[in-house]
Amino acid sequence: MSNPLDTVFAALADPTRRAILSMLLEDDMAVTDVADPFDMSLAAISKHLAILTRAGLISQERRGRVKWCKLEPDALRDASIWMQSFGQFEAINLDAFERFLRAELEDESPPR
């Protein structure tokens, strides 16, 4: 992806990566500590971390023998500015919207 905004939103699209970012809000963490709460391999977590790093959302550095991850909150600035441009519209009641979509999908589903 050549557009930095696309890269940030693609990174944020995954719930595991969002959870990692939430964890890093507290403090810098070693990669092994980041991986600990997830039921996946260290290699899988490393792939998620690489995506977050490419998007500029985190940085990684070696401190001795340990690789540490640090949140880079400034990387969200452009995404935040882009999203704020939609603030001029009235907020959508998402619960009502979800009920509407369910009703529409039920009406369109073929009979069994």
pLDDT mean by block of 10 residues, the chain; 112 residues:
84 95 95 96 96 96 95 88 72 72 73 54
- CA angle, residues 22, 18, 29, in degrees to nearest 5: 45
pLDDT at 100: 79
How much is the pTM?
A: 0.74
Q: Which of 47, 55, 59 is nearest to 9 (CA)?
A: 55
The domain spans of the chain are: 4-108
End-to-end CA distance of the chain: 42
pLDDT at 98: 77
pLDDT at 95: 74
pLDDT at 40: 95
Instruction: Decide: 6 and 58 in contact? Cβ < 8 Å.
Output: no
Class of CATH domain 4-108: mainly alpha
pLDDT at 2: 67
